Amino acid sequence: MQRVYGVDIDAVARGDVSLAQAAALAACLPPGSLCLAREDERYGWSRQDMLLLAIANSLRTEPIDPFKGPNVMEFSPEELGEYLARPRTAAENGGDA
């Protein structure tokens, strides 16, 4: 939110910005914002990125789909639930697994 609105998240903790204001700002983050990209990589693409890809795809015989490929995992809702329910292992050095 700091990059887009100039609002530091610490301002919420200090009480300078209310939680309701921060939630309203977060709900209106534009495509390309880092917060949205953490939730879903497709939202990490700015409008400029999407337009440039559309231009590149208009010149190609086989369009590029950046969200399909060997590193993309696709699940049905049931498969996703099963995948998320699997036990997790602790990461080395105290990080998240």
Average pLDDT, the chain: 78
The length of the chain is 97
Domain limits, the chain: 2-89
Please report the pLDDT score of residue 25 as a whole number. Answer: 86
* Nearest-10 Cα torsion for 56, 59, 62, 68: 10
53 backbone φψ class: left, alpha, beta (φ>0; ψ -120 to 50): alpha
Please report the pLDDT score of residue 73 as a whole number. Answer: 65
Strand residues in the chain grouped as ranges (E): none
Counting as low any pLDDT under 50, the low residues of the chain are 97
Please report the pLDDT score of residue 90 as a whole number. Answer: 64
User: Residue 14 and residue 65: Cα distance in Å, rounded?
Assistant: 43
